[in-house]
Homo-oligomer: A and B are copies of this chain.
Amino acid sequence: MMQNKLSTNPYKGARDFYPEDKRLLKYIFNHWRQVVESYGYEEYDAPILEDLAIYQAKSGQEIVNDQTYSFTDRGGRELAIRPEMTPSVSRMVARKFQQLTFPLRLYSIPNLWRYERQQKGRFREHWQLNVDLFGDQSQQADYEMIEIADQIFKSFGADTSMYQFKVNDRRLTDYILTDYLMLDEAQSYQIIKLIDRFHKYDLDDFIHQIDLLINDQQRQADLIEKLLRILQTNDPQSLPEELTKKELFQDFISLFQNLNKNIPNVIFDNSIVRGFDYYNGFVFEVFDVDPNNNRSMMGGGRYDNLVSLFGIDQLPTIGFGLGDATVHNFLLAHGLMPDLPPEMDLFYVNLDFDHYFERDILNQIRQAGVNVFEAQPNLKMADQIKKALKKNIPFFIVVGDQELKTKRFQLKDLRTSKVYDLSINELIQHIQKNNSKTLK
């Protein structure tokens, strides 16, 4: 029967979630759900397999060519395991476009797969909150995205000194490159890739890379100096007047000022362009300001054209994504990780085999919402207590003839070693008042 022993490891770059890991994941998901549902977002889901074509159409080239898990099914259909959720939700909105009522607020917490090299906080499988608002092109919709992201971080106990929003608009960047700096299309395409990595480059190296792409005339017109001045500006009102007088910039400045009224940790950063090809308006990222975890934690923006791939006229859309590992690292870096005890409340030992099948008391306790772990029969009492302690179950009880006759129970709190003599109703109430959830 024994073949070669199989490996017990999960697939490389993916994670097993043992109960303690799953509790952490649920803690994060619950906070996400609570905040986005308070904004009227409704949860949806889509199959983890989609036609490869929906990613080829619009996702960044790197994702499709190098990072997608794609294969052909037994019917010859080319499929991909979703590397991101935005194409799926765009497809779903297009599919029921006529029946849906806009504006439409949708969220999901899908698992996504990318074939990438392992590094800290990066997994081949991760979970990502996706929040999208369809059919609202107002400044308020842009504002709402930042407010929700801000509320999510606050819900975990973070304060504004721990993270920072960097906001931009892809149309500003396009205008700056094409109309203000007079770059041609090929140059803009190359330079936008460099701008995307502006904060990762050494400044001299960045200047050198730009210099390689421009001509003498552009060099003499101080193109590099102009670009650097823009990239180093954190307030859109400080941009050159030639820009700020334009309506496009005026609108952005209005949004920026309104954001700053309520959310002080928002700065302008024209290097925020987002990797995906489909963004076409307001874009943003959130950075952890902790020097040991200084990185972009999440991002999003406007992508008004994605539903049009599915035959629907352009639909104003804005959304963002936030990953589970990102949040976990952030909580660790800032000491915000709570203790998450298991959901089990009571370790219950039946003294006799026959009494096991008298289930009334147990049913009553469970139906009151108390989670009861029944002990394995025929172990020494000291071993039962050891097991309850190892499992971190707060309450312990032994039930035999005596207890069933008198209807009095000796409830032991394993955290304090105190024993309480209680009726069944008192026992339920005592546990409900003093279990791990209540004391948190």
List the interface of chain A (C-beta within 8 A of B): 1-3, 5-12, 14-19, 21-23, 25-26, 37-40, 42-51, 53-54, 57, 69, 71-75, 77, 79, 81, 91-92, 94-96, 101-103, 105-106, 111, 113, 115, 125, 135-136, 138, 140, 143-144, 147, 258, 261-262, 305, 308-311, 342-344, 350, 353, 356-357, 359, 366-367, 369-378, 387, 390-391, 393
**Contact in complex: B50, A356 (CB < 8 Å):** no
Which 6 pairs show the lowest CB-CB distances between chains A and B? A40-B373, A14-B47, A71-B71, A8-B95, A19-B42, A17-B45
Contact partner of A51 among B6, B21, B40, CB < 8 A?
Answer: B6
A307 — nearest CB in chain B belongs to which residue? B8
In contact, A1 and B308 (Cβ under 8 angstroms): yes
- Max chain B C-beta neighbours (<10 A), residue from A47, A311, A376: A47
Q: Is the CB of A51 within 8 A of B7?
A: yes
Q: How many copies does the complex hold?
A: 2
Nearest-Cβ distance from residue A156 to partner chain B, whole angstroms: 15
Known: A69-B73, A373-B40. A48 touches B125 (CB 8 A): yes
For A57, the chain B residues whose CB sits under 8 A away are: 3, 6
Closest CB in chain B relative to A114 CB, distance in Å: 11
Q: Hey, which chain B residues are within 8 Å of A357, CB to CB?
A: 143, 258, 261-262
Chain B nearest CB from A344 CB (Å) reads 5
A-B contact pairs, 30 of them (CB 8 A): A5-B311, A8-B92, A8-B311, A10-B46, A10-B50, A11-B51, A11-B77, A14-B49, A15-B47, A16-B44, A16-B45, A17-B44, A17-B46, A19-B106, A22-B42, A23-B43, A26-B43, A37-B343, A38-B370, A39-B374, A40-B373, A40-B374, A42-B342, A48-B111, A48-B113, A101-B387, A101-B391, A138-B377, A140-B353, A140-B377
